[in-house]
Chain A
């Protein structure tokens, strides 16, 4: 059974750096075709694709946020970390991590974490 869980601060100040951790179980991020992505959703608004890291350490970033995002993986700890610099109130959102397995469900996110709400405020 695949599970993912996001963790990190619930409140950050403007200009600070946000660090979120996705801890997962039930799969290995060293298996060919597997990836973990981050998606966010501001309150009452749409989902926004942020970043994705693949089993081979290839990475993809949203073009509009690329300069502020870094995604890394620690295969031994079953964790993926997303950092976002220079946080602003507009970054207030629920942040989700999600599993991707090309050989199971193509490029789709088939299993999602419960999400973690992050508020940016002074």
Chain B
């Protein structure tokens, strides 16, 4: 089970939008609608931002949205704010193999 593929880094200015992609296979991302996204600030535990591809947990701003097409899921952050600067990880259900994370993307707010 290989890690899902994410860009190593993305950046954007305050107020702009950025999209982070997460590419897997038909055995994980493409096979199930169970993709989740996590935000991790340095030295902190990850925080769930999106689950089931596009659902937001209570308390997560609606600036965060998720989608999926085929074997690629995406996280879009609109109206970038300084506090959005963090590492972002996608994760997908992988059937009998449990789950698999992406390699992580560092978001820089310029």
Contact = CB atoms under 8 A, between A and B. Distances in A.
B24 interface: no
B3 A107 contact: no
Nearest to A109: B48
B99 A110 contact: no
Interface stretch (B12-20, B73-81, B101-109): B101-109
Interface string B80-104: 0000000001010100111111111
A59 to B, nearest CB: 9
Contact of B45 (A46, A63, A112): A112
Contacts of B101: 39, 46-49
Nearest to A96: B45
Contact of A47 (B55, B89, B97): B89
Interface in B1-26: 1, 3
A96 B40 CA distance: 13
A105 B51 contact: yes
Give chain A's interface residue range (CB within 8 Å of chain B). Answer: 20 to 34
Contacts of A14: none
A92 B100 CA distance: 19
A107 B45 contact: no
Given A46-B102, A47-B101, A106 B45 contact: no
B89 A62 contact: no
A110 B51 contact: yes
Given A46-B104, A108-B52, 19 more contacts: A46-B3, A46-B101, A47-B91, A48-B3, A49-B99, A49-B101, A52-B99, A60-B97, A61-B98, A96-B46, A105-B55, A106-B34, A107-B52, A108-B48, A109-B91, A110-B51, A113-B45, A114-B45, A115-B45
14 contacts: A39-B46, A46-B3, A47-B91, A47-B104, A48-B3, A49-B91, A49-B98, A49-B100, A63-B1, A105-B57, A108-B36, A108-B48, A109-B38, A110-B51
Interface of B: 1, 3, 32, 34, 36, 38, 40, 45-48, 51-52, 55, 57, 89, 91, 93, 96-104
